[in-house]
Structure 1
Amino acid sequence: MKDADEILYRLALSFVPKVGSVLTRQLIGYCGSAKAVFTTPRGKLLRIPGIGKFIADNIQQADLLVKAERELALVEKHDVQLLWFTDEAYPSRLKHLPDSPPLLYYQGTASLNHARIVGIVGTRQATDYGRSVTEQIVRDLVPHECLVVSGLAYGIDITAHRAAVQHQLPTIGVMANGLDLVYPAAHKATAQQMRTHGGLLTENPFGTKPDAPQFPARNRIIAGLCDALVVVEAAAKGGALITADMAHQYDREVLAVPGNLGNPYSEGCNRLIRQLKAAIYTNIEDLEKLLNWDLDAPARATTTQLHLDESLFSAEELSVLQVLRQQGAQQIDELGFATQLAAGRLASLLLNLEFQGMIKALPGKKYCLTHKK
């Protein structure tokens, strides 16, 4: 069980003004824990790179623990899980991203480290064509036992969530507000179904309203959580294209559904394809080939039963193989985070293990075991 004081101090740290993802990790790296950040003398805080007088003064605000205590009471009242970036249950796909939230609020039952995660996004002004295509995509994901991620918004988002619920696929709604509010309110019933077969996820404390600046921040979580992002319909500008750009920056696979020329809600998708920022999505085979999915390998199996003769491998090679056995396919950055190996050394080890037939390279800079016995 986590130390109750540490949880309280993590919440307090999340309330420090102007301390975001990077500085939070910097503080934890130097101080060792959230509680230690608040007990470290001001002079020592000032010696931490990036921590000036303004930030040091903010950390020493007297009311931060009071705010944290109020927030913790709400967390317990609403049966919310707090996921700190070092927790095992924290999404591993987000851990290595420089701007990922240090703290997440989660209501739900699905694992955020599901073996296969697909994001589906698009315009709020979805056409009948867009809704039909979204429903077909979700139906085709059923044999792959995917987790579907979207933003709970009108249009393509809610269509994806509802189709996932209908077909009993777990689905996560990433929110731009606190968990005490479902926005838009018209989606309350679907959100309630998702709490028991999927979940709701946010980085925002209780009481946060869905103001405009919150949505791009929400979109980065959607982009980072998934293995592949499918854009169904998108205008020339909008949140779906922002999410696609972020997914591209995070080395996620991006696919776009082509649309009719002249349709304003196809302009964004057609442009992504034309600019080579997205692969074309015409059917599920496009996604299967891009991610190298094998229907013979059940997605729900999060570990691979691999028996290793440890005498044949170095300690570093074994650390890589163990991560792939426990976590499934991983990007090279994720492997680096998990093994704490330098990038150059890790690349050399991966190449050697690939030559030995122990692992194979996948699209999207990922690696997985070859399932040898």
Structure 2
Amino acid sequence: MTQDELLAYLILQRIPNLGDTSIKRLINRFETAENVLRQKKETLLKIDGIGEIRLKEFYEKSHRQAAEQELHFIERTGISCCNFREAHYPERLKHCVDGPILLFKRGDAGYENKRVLAIVGTRKVTTHGLQFIRKFIEDLAPLQPLIVSGFAYGVDIAAHTAALDNGLDTLAVLAHGLNQIYPKVHAKYQKAVERQGAFMTDFWSSDAFDRTNFLRRNRIIAGIAEATLVVESAEKGGSLVTAEIANSYNRDVFAVPGRADDLQSVGCNNLIKTQKAQLITSAADLIYQLNWQPEEIFKPVQKQLFVELTDEERIVWRLLSDRGKEELDLIALNCNLPTYKTASLLLNMELKGVVRPLPGKLFELI
């Protein structure tokens, strides 16, 4: 994207009453943002959904002045930008009708990773929630997913730090411009995230910090990820909004169940009860539901001569020894084990170099 085209995008982004959906419609019609700005009012009014109200301030000169200032900030601070038509714009976000026309990023994380998981939840996370997040991400680490969250208190920052501790890329989607870090106490993680991930936003450095920004931010978190996991949530909260948005995008949503009298689990329990999220209790559940095949990224492992197996792993081993290849559900059935437990056992046995997955959710001994 050239400097002139970036400036044109910034001008369009600044015009009140013109949202991302309308701007995309205009750019798709006239090919470039620069071409859109060259059009006469009567030409623009012929486009479906573009009326007098949306064009009320279209030709105000102050928008160009503000855009030039923001462009100077971008160039001065080394921020990378991409528009919704570029190849390096997040692929899943391209399919969201209200996805941002322009994204600003600082850091090294890319979006080519096929496994992208958003983890969200309450800011008042419990000790149990923190322990779940650490164990969950530790178990996911061999699959090298990109962990996405909002860099807020509680579940968000726990997900980011657990990803960093396990050598995973992490993407922090902010509800403000890249000229600041909020909350300030999380500034201590800034360099680590930029080195092992990135910060992303569609807000300008001059945008006022407002509570409504978090709701707008959530569409990026939900849209960029293959699936969204809600760890803990009260009856109301931003994480539930993220889950609703993810559902509207036809993305998988998972929730960790909690006790019926636990206030920080009411939101998760309601998501599961209303079938807006699938119940999940471990990384193995998610791996099974999303069909994340470890063989795509695991390097061949030489079979060990002496491997310590648990009693349940030995039951699975004996079944596969007799049958050769078998489907996950049939392994669980014949071993008299829950499917989620069997998936967890098979993942552990794979890490020990005992079994390997095959297409079609089949497994066999190595």
Shorter-chain TM-score range: 0.7 to 0.9
1:294-330 Cα distance to aligned partner (Å, 9 max, x none): 1100299xxxxxxxxxxxxxxxxxxxxxxxxxxxxxx
Q: CA deviation at 1:361?
A: 10
Mapping 1:142-181, distance limit 5 Å: 142-181=141-180
Residues 145, 299 of structure 1: 8 Å contact kept: no
- 2:249 corresponds to: 250
2:126 counterpart letter in structure 1: T
Residues 175-200 of structure 1 deviation map (CA, whole Å, 9 limit, x = unaligned): 11111111111111112211111101
Mapped partners of 1:87, 1:251: distance in 2: 23
Distance (whole Å) between structure 2 residues aligned to residue 154 and residue 236 of structure 1: 18
Q: Could you tell me how far apart the structure 1 residues matched to 2:248 and 2:114 are?
A: 21
Give me the CA root mean square deviation.
1.7
Q: What are the within-5 Å matches in structure 2 for residues 267-286 of structure 1?
A: 267-286=266-285
1:248, 1:277 within 8 Å by CA — same for their partners in 2? Answer: yes
The residue aligned with 1:69 is 68
Partner of 2:225: 226
Residue 210 of structure 1 aligns with which residue?
A: 209
CA distance in 1, matches of 2:170, 2:214: 19
Q: Distance in 2 between matches of 1:238 and 1:299?
A: 38
For 2:126 and 2:196, the matched residues in 1 are separated by 27
Higher mean alpha-carbon deviation, 24-33 vs 125-134, is at: 24-33
TM-score, structure 2 as length reference = 0.79
Runs (4+) of structure 1 exceeding 6 A deviation are none
* Deviation digits for residues 188-220 of structure 1 (CA, Å, limit 9, x no counterpart): 111221111110111111122431111111111
Deviation per CA, 1:262-318, whole angstroms, max 9, x where unpaired? 110011111111221111111111101111111100299xxxxxxxxxxxxxxxxxx
Q: Which residue in the other structure is 2:79 paired with?
A: 80
> What secondary structure is seen at the aligned counterpart in 1 of 2:122?
coil
* Amino acid aligned to 2:266: E
The alignment status of 1:26 with 2:25, answered yes or no, reads yes
| Rg larger in structure | 2
Flag structure 1 segments of 5+ consecutive residues without an equivalent: 301-359, 363-373
Contact 1:116-1:299 at 8 Å conserved across structures: no
Is the contact between residue 17 and residue 55 of structure 2 (CA under 8 Å) also seen in structure 1? no
Alignment partner of 1:260 is 2:251:
no
Match of 2:52 in 1: 53
Amino acid at match of 1:106: K
Q: Structure 1 residues 299, 11: CA separation in 2 closer, same or farther (over 3 Å shift)?
A: farther
Worse overlay, 88-97 or 38-47:
38-47
Q: CA deviation at 1:37?
A: 1.1
Residue 34 of structure 1: how far off its partner (Å) = 0.6
- Contact 2:109/2:198 (<8 A) preserved: yes
**Structure-2 separation of matches of 1:361 and 1:277:** 26
Amino acid at match of 1:74: F
Specify every segment of 5 or more residues in structure 2 that has no aligned partner in the other structure, as ranges: 300-358, 362-366
Q: Distance in 2 between matches of 1:65 and 1:152?
A: 31
Partner of 1:115: 114
- Once structures 1 and 2 are overlaid, which stretch shifts more, 57-66 or 215-224? 57-66
3-state SS of 2:53 partner: helix
Contact 2:82–2:88 (8 Å) recurs in 1: yes
- Letter of the 1:8 partner, please give it: L
Q: Is the 8 A contact 2:120 2:149 kept in 1?
A: yes
| CA distance in 2 between partners of 1:226 and 1:110 (Å) | 14
Give 2:2's aligned residue: 3
Identical pairs, percent: 37
Q: After superposition, what is the alpha-carbon deviation per residue over 1:207-249, rounded to whole angstroms, capped at 9, x for unaligned?
A: 2243111111111111111111111110011011111111111
Residues 11, 67 of structure 2: 8 Å contact kept: yes
1:196 counterpart residue number: 195
Distance (Å, rounded) in 1 between the aligned partners of 2:46 and 2:271: 45
* Residue 73 of structure 1: how far off its partner (Å): 0.7
1:296 aligns with 2:288: no
Length, aligned pairs only: 302
Cα pair distance change 1:361/1:8, threshold 3 Å = farther
Residue 207 to residue 184, structure 1, CA distance change in 2 (3 Å)? same
Pair 157,270 (structure 1): closer, same or farther in 2 beyond 3 Å: same
